[in-house]
Amino acid sequence: MKQKETLLNTMEINLSNSSFDELGEDHAGSSFETPLREDAFEMDDNLKIELIEKHFREIMHIMGLDLTDDSLKGTPHRVAKMYVKEVFSGLNPKNKPAAKLFENKYKYNEMLVEKDITFHSHCEHHFVPIYGKAHVAYISNGDVIGLSKINRIVQYYSKRPQVQERLTMQIGNELKEALGTEDVAVIMDAYHMCVSSRGVQDTNSSTVTSFYSGKFQHDEQTRQEFLKYIELKK
């Protein structure tokens, strides 16, 4: 009976995997907001680490790895801690950076561009890295933000399972809200390990996504100025 149940479960997994594979290859996204359950933060970080460690240990065991080996026996805990405290820390709203604004006393009313912001994220379809550069611009409407806060906003939304399109939009909308201005632009140029290390295994291609709002969306000259600064052509 037990073997039969195992066989049935395996059949169900195999039947569903074809549609899952197609979804991943099509690079589909489900929503603008990161898909999270309502109870996502009822469990504290320590318990999450404990449970992930337990399950990752089982994954390693299923793969046939010897967990008594000195090099491997600490891996489940390291992975669990890395997931919760580092690479997916952007899932927790408690880690959202506070964006303090300052009065634009020097009356700088031109475009401010922060380019080549390094980011690391993870593809939500295969949980492998996405990495690249983000380029951000805004035009002040009376307030300015500390430069490091722009980087922190990029990092916050990057540190969660993502698709690049959603990531770009989340950063753009967060900057609009934080700065109180519609005049925001974001371009992200990224490499996807789900493309380079598996599937088609193309190690050269990168993916570029953009977000334009306010003057960047409606004024061609403003948009071209931004593109000139970051040395990307339309």
Query: Hey, where are the domains in the chain?
Result: 2-95, 101-230
**Does domain 2-95 sit in CATH 1.10.286.10?**
yes
> pTM of the entire structure?
0.85
Catalytic residue among 123, 135, 170, 174: 123
Catalytic residue among 53, 114, 125, 174: 125
CATH code, residues 101-230: 3.30.1130.10
**pLDDT tens digits, the chain, 234 residues: what are they?**
444 444 444 444 454 455 556 555 555 556 789 999 999 999 999 999 999 999 999 999 999 999 999 999 999 999 999 999 999 999 999 999 998 888 888 888 899 999 999 999 999 999 999 999 999 999 999 889 999 999 999 999 999 999 999 999 999 999 999 999 999 999 999 999 887 777 777 777 899 999 999 999 999 999 999 999 998 654
194 belongs to the catalytic site: yes
Residue 193 · residue 130 · CB < 8 Å: yes
Q: Which residues of 191-210 are buried (b: 16+ CB within 10 A; e: fewer)?
A: bbbbbbeeeeeeeeeebebb
53 belongs to the catalytic site: no
61 belongs to the catalytic site: no
Q: How far apart are CA 204 and CA 122, in angstroms?
A: 18
125 belongs to the catalytic site: yes
pLDDT in tens, 201-222: 777 789 999 999 999 999 999 9
Residue 141 · residue 104 · CB < 8 Å: no
